[in-house]
Amino acid sequence: MQRLRFIHQLGFAFLVFPGAEHSRFSHVLGAMHLAGRVYDALCAKGNGLLPSGASSRERRLVRAAALLHDIGHAPFSHSAEELFAGGIDHEEMTRRLLALPDIEEAFERWGEGLATADVARLLAGGGDPKERLLAQIVSGELDVDKMDYLLRDSLFCGVRYGSFDLDRLLDTMLPIENPETGAWGIGVDEGGVHALEALVMARYYMFTQVYFNVTGKALELHLNQWLGEQGMSWAAEPEAFLEQDDVSIWSAMRRSPSVHARAIVQRDHFPVAFETREHLTREEQERFEALLPGMVQSFGAGNLLVSRSAKDPHRMRSSRVLVQRYDGSLEPMEEASHFIRHLTRIRRYRVYTPPPLRDAVAAALREQWDSGFR
């Protein structure tokens, strides 16, 4: 847990947005707090589905899961999150950390009946229907992870577009049983459609403006390059993993003569030579990928850092978020909302290169890319 104090919530974003110096530790505290609030909101409208009371087992469980959901995060958060040794991922690391004796022991002393296995099961999606509902509080379309990071990151970055009306959203949330599948999910009543739209748009803006920021992406690419050069990866073994955080990696980069470490430590990163529009179609994406091998041949792999930013603005369709009309009828969120239907997937390429090659790379890419439209 305390290790998260030394992992920047937004990787290198603090070098672009000076306020973004907050850690993943503050995020998980916020997520835990919101998990209690969402639980209470669902409980109040659940007709006995969830037991009330500040210390009910279900409420403590969902708060514990929110607190612990990010302990497996690698240094610099999402910046290089695929570099785990042994082919494991972030979720697997969380499971391994939960199984450490220290954590087991902490649960035994203060868990009042909760065990790490309960948390692990919830983080994996939950067992029975009630747990599957609780699991959505921590991970789903309307989860506390998203609610906290949007409000927190927009506050710390000093941008207004990441905010939404949290109180209104909480007031209008309710558990809804999907009549087709019989599964319980988190939905909103009709009065909450606008608040939920605002959350989706806040997320859209945060991805396009902050999380996929052109400079931040450059620094992430350099980090990945540097780790590759050093033959480094995130330890698969939990004790060793706990030693790795932003402080340890930053210290190592300071000592390293590598061009990629200098790029980060001195903020002297490769400039962007080319970037596509924000919403490539799948065909355009394929066409761009097809250009890259030729570019690598011309300029050398080490001289082309390629960023592939991609994100769905929401998954309302697959996650079946339902809206309960004032007359009691149900409607999928993507039908209730005009805006949400029209948001398209973010898909953008950027190519960074050393300054001397910039013009040549830019010209080559522009020519080949534009020729596809003739």
Q: Which residues are catalytic?
A: 90
**Dist CA 283 CA 77 (whole Å):** 31
β-strand partners of 174? 187
Q: Does 198 bind a copy of itself (CB under 8 A)?
A: yes
Q: Does 54 bind a copy of itself (CB under 8 A)?
A: yes
One-letter amino acid of 190:
E
Q: Does 5 bind a copy of itself (CB under 8 A)?
A: yes
One-letter amino acid of 353:
T
User: For a copy of itself, which residue of 149, 161, 241, 299 counts as binding (CB under 8 A)?
Assistant: 161
User: For a copy of itself, which residue of 2, 55, 318, 329 counts as binding (CB under 8 A)?
Assistant: 2
Q: Does 205 bind a copy of itself (CB under 8 A)?
A: yes
Q: Does 160 bind a copy of itself (CB under 8 A)?
A: yes
Site string for a copy of itself, 116-155 (x = CB under 8 A): ----------------------------------------
Which H, E and C letters describe 133-179, residue by residue?
HHHHHHCCCCCHHHHHHHHHHHHHHCCCCCCCCHHHHHHHEEEEECC
User: For a copy of itself, which residue of 12, 39, 164, 207 counts as binding (CB under 8 A)?
Assistant: 164
User: For a copy of itself, which residue of 99, 247, 301, 363 counts as binding (CB under 8 A)?
Assistant: 247
Which tokens hold the place of 368?
């080949």
Site string for a copy of itself, 10-39 (x = CB under 8 A): ----xx--xx-xxx-xx--x----------
**Dist CA 284 CA 343 (whole Å):** 18
Q: Does 369 bind a copy of itself (CB under 8 A)?
A: no
Q: Does 222 bind a copy of itself (CB under 8 A)?
A: no
Closer of 95 and 194 to a copy of itself (Cβ): 194
User: For a copy of itself, which residue of 82, 89, 129, 248 counts as binding (CB under 8 A)?
Assistant: 248
Report yes or no: 77 and 9 within 8 Å, Cβ to Cβ: yes
Closer of 152 and 217 to a copy of itself (Cβ): 152
Q: Does 342 bind a copy of itself (CB under 8 A)?
A: yes
| Dihedral sign from CA coordinates of 83, 88, 89, 91 | negative
Q: Does 102 bind a copy of itself (CB under 8 A)?
A: no
Among 166, 160, 146, CA closest to 17: 160
| Interface size with a copy of itself, residues (CB under 8 A) | 37
Is residue 340 exposed (0-12), middle (13-18) or buried (19+ Cβ within 10 Å)?
buried
User: For a copy of itself, which residue of 56, 104, 330, 339 counts as binding (CB under 8 A)?
Assistant: 339
Among 113, 93, 28, CA closest to 66: 28
Segment lying near a copy of itself (by CB under 8 A), choices 73-81, 230-238, 335-343, 348-356: 335-343
Segment lying near a copy of itself (by CB under 8 A), choices 87-95, 216-224, 243-251, 298-306: 243-251
Backbone angles phi, psi at 22, to 5 degrees: -75, 155
Segment lying near a copy of itself (by CB under 8 A), choices 72-80, 100-108, 162-170, 234-242: 162-170
Q: Which residues bind a copy of itself (CB under 8 A)?
A: 2, 5, 14-15, 18-19, 21-23, 25-26, 29, 44, 54, 159-161, 164-165, 168, 194-195, 198, 201, 205, 209, 247-248, 250-251, 254, 267, 279, 338-339, 342, 344
